[in-house]
Amino acid sequence: MPTANQSFLAGTPAHCIVLTSVATEAQAETLARQIVQARLGACVQIHPLKSVYRWKGEVCVGAEWQLSVKTRQCRFDALAQFIAAHHDYETPEIVQLPITAGLASYLRWLEDETQP
């Protein structure tokens, strides 16, 4: 339960999480740092995972590192272009998930950290 000085915002999804995945932890950390330094994301979380996917007619299984980028929806196009330009995959995952509600102070911080 929020304290008296905490409030939550709900409504139009002005904020989002953008997902992408890369082949190695080193690539994940490099891309995450570049995204934050470029102010395209306020925070990037890096998660190890195993993917099962179809690629060029074959089912593949492999280890990957997923990046969860917290940003503003209005920065999505620039972030997507940045990821595509700095990604090793032929067809990288770049998907946007709306944040429909959140702690107001966190969302303000997210906005502050993603100003161009």
Q: How confident is the model at residue 78, as a pLDDT?
A: 97
pLDDT tens digits, one per residue of 18-50: 999 999 999 999 999 999 999 999 999 999 999
pLDDT tens digits, one per residue of 69-113: 999 999 999 999 999 999 999 999 999 999 998 898 999 999 999
Residue ranges and CATH numbers for the domains of the chain are 18-113 (3.30.70.120)
Percent with pLDDT over 70 in the chain: 93
pTM, entire model? 0.89
Which residues, in sequence order, are bridge partners of residue 62? 51
What number of helices (H) and strands (E) belong to the chain? 3, 4
Closest CA to 46 of 9, 19, 10, 80: 19
